[in-house]
Chain A
Amino acid sequence: MRPPELVCPAGTPAAMRTAVEAGADAVYCGFQNATNARNFPGLNFTPGELERAIRHAHENGTKVLLAINTFPPAGKVDLWRDAVDLGARLGVDAYIVADIGVADYIARNHPDIRLHLSVQAAASSPEAIKWYCREFGVKRVVLPRILTVSEIKAIAREIPCEIETFIFGNHGLMVEGRCSLTNYITGQSTNYDGVCSPAADVEYRRDEEGNLSTRLGDFTIDCFSCNETAGYPTICKGRYLTPARNEGYYAFEEPISLNLSSLLPDLMAAGVNALKIEGRQRSRAYVKNVVSSFRKAVDAIMAGEEPPLADLIALTEGQKQTEGAFKSKTWR
């Protein structure tokens, strides 16, 4: 078994240094604009920051993957092309892309730089993946978080490129790249602005009885009594009413984190080439803890030992975790 690449989030230059020093084989990051799917205030890199960060990463043997993984809306394609060209000048090791036009631009203008297909492309079948490989020379696909380990194994046998899967972090419920919920409520698009539940549209409202409503735009996403911990208002993690239910329920999913640590050996045996940790919006301390824990775990598995993973549960959302779709079809 070849050791899988541990691919770690770098939301800021400091987080990137932390991830590199904690044992990341590769880090992924983006510029400070709509060209990447974590276009949040205070996150991401200026060109100068990325240049320095790439130097530091390469000195430590860590690859830098540049996420240009949103869909340029017609009329704004230049911003995405500029990001691509800048990435090439700064020496990124690979691009992570979702849009067909962007992939085509890279394949024609920067054929020597590796192309990874973003989870935002929602390529969930061997045929879709093979098409992107054939057309653009894609070297790796980041699989949607909707497949079981045995389905991943079956896909690995049929496709000509590497596989990267998420192992830890936010547990998105909608097929990524195919969700306009945030845009419906806020006017900011996940697909072309790189934004999901933007902080500027979030509001926390407490009533006289001490209940806390979390709101996005004009809508209440959840409501918490005094003894509950309020979560961030993400539409797919909210509680709603429907005639089939007597009270508010999590219509899509509970606020819960993805943690595949117990499935790591299975994923590695299934032929997964790279293991991705979500969380470019997370703190340095979080990145340090998660990356070093998974570094130890992967190294232990490679050495044939039992992986130590108990610490990771403390880092999951509300200390609740799930194997999501990966373990069993019953999740669906």
Chain B
Amino acid sequence: MKPNLTIGPILFHWPAEKKLEFYARIAEEAPVDTVYLGEVVCSKRSPFFEQYYEDVAERLTRAGKKVVFSSLAEIMLKRERNMMAGFCEIEDHEIEINDASALWHLDGHKFRVGPLMNAYNEETLRYLAGKGATHFAMPTELPGSSVAIMASAARDVGAGSEVQVFGRAQLALSARCYHARAHGRIKDNCQFVCELDPDGMPLRTLDGNDFLAINGIQTLSHKYINLMAELPQLREMGITHFRLVPQDVDMVAVAKIWRAALDGVISPEEGQKRLDALNLPAPFANGFWHGQAGVKKVAVERALASL
């Protein structure tokens, strides 16, 4: 099967114009197969882009991309519960769920399992497949040794398997908004200050080292995950989908490099060189994949790249 290159949902609170511009470019220029749309992080942000989804989805579909809608990841308030109930009624497109509350609404309907759903093992995978799951995006911290087993279990139940190969790691969720807190506000009165940081708000240690990035209630890694060197290994495992998580960088350029590498037009080494040449704002890391600290960059020798 041809490997599927995907663009994950935009995690940041970009202004509507910026998102529209982003998806216009993705539709026209990015050689990706699937685009995930929707607000995953903060329910307060949702209304800003709600009115555009139909047009964006249509534009992407006309450009030959498959559109999947991703759900919120934290459901607590009445407003969020209602949003999730409505989300689960989407019929025109596939949906990806990121919170267990969706399972209550989805009884019997098909769905994709998002990376924030905590499907860590083959038993959970099989159980959810029995409930209608057709596709599994792996938790970011799951090591490659476990992902291999998940990919095989997914194949056995006829489901897809997806790994994030590019972008900051989603490390934590909270009920508290840390963006608001940094600006001396609270979540209910945040005035959408997260809009100031289109690639996340940097947190550095007291001795000045880059550490984390804040995105509202979410905490991300400072470093970008990059599994280009592991690509042969991922292919061999039978991973069907390769996810690029949008950052505030030239994602079309990133997608073109990945497409070429996935299609075997360029080698992973060449892909890595081209990614390095983009001069991205944060260094790369791949530790989670190798069962080590996620922040680490583990050197991958070509000989070891296929297990």
Interface of A with B (CB < 8 Å)?
Answer: 71-77, 98-102, 104-105, 121-128, 130-132, 134, 144, 146-147, 151, 173-175, 177-181, 183-187, 189, 191-192, 213, 217-223, 236, 239-245, 248-249, 251-253, 325, 329-332
Contact = CB atoms under 8 A, between A and B. Distances in A.
14 contacts: A74-B121, A74-B142, A75-B149, A124-B76, A125-B75, A127-B81, A174-B173, A178-B172, A184-B293, A187-B293, A217-B293, A220-B206, A241-B203, A252-B178
Contacts of A126: 81
B196 to A, nearest CB: 8
B101 A191 contact: no
Contacts of A175: 74, 172-175
Interface in B120-171: 120-128, 139-143, 145-147, 149-150, 153, 169, 171
A217 B294 CA distance: 12
Interface of B: 73-76, 80-81, 84-85, 99-105, 116, 118-128, 139-143, 145-147, 149-150, 153, 169, 171-178, 181-183, 186-188, 201-209, 211-212, 214, 219, 221, 287-288, 291-296
A100 B127 contact: yes
Contacts of A220: 205-207, 209
Nearest to B80: A125
Contact of B206 (A98, A99, A223): A223
What secondary structure prevails in chain A residues at the interface with B?
A: mixed
- Max chain B C-beta neighbours (<10 A), residue from A126, A127, A177: A127
B182 A99 contact: no
Contacts of A177: 118
Given A101-B123, A178-B173, A128 B104 contact: yes
Contacts of A146: 76, 174-176
What secondary structure prevails in chain B residues at the interface with A?
A: mixed
B182 A242 contact: yes
Contacts of A125: 75-76, 80-81, 84, 99, 101
Contacts of A218: 209, 295
A132 B100 contact: yes
A74 B153 contact: yes
A323 to B, nearest CB: 14
Given A174-B219, A332-B187, A127 B84 contact: yes
Nearest to B81: A125
Contacts of B102: 127
A179 B124 contact: no
Contacts of B81: 125-127
A73 B142 contact: yes
Given A76-B121, A127-B84, A130-B104, 4 more contacts: A77-B121, A105-B123, A147-B175, A185-B295
Given A99-B121, A184-B221, A217-B293, A241 B205 contact: yes
Contacts of A74: 120-122, 125, 142, 146-147, 149-150, 153
B101 to A, nearest CB: 4
B128 A252 contact: no
A189 to B, nearest CB: 6
Given A73-B142, A191-B120, A241 B206 contact: yes
- Max chain A C-beta neighbours (<10 A), residue from B105, B124, B208: B124
Contact of A127 (B75, B146, B212): B75
Given A101-B123, A241-B206, A73 B76 contact: no
Given A73-B121, A99-B118, A332 B186 contact: yes
A251 B178 contact: yes
A147 B76 contact: yes
A329 B188 CA distance: 8
B120 A181 contact: no
Contacts of B127: 100-101, 104
B158 to A, nearest CB: 18
A240 B85 CA distance: 38
A240 B206 contact: yes
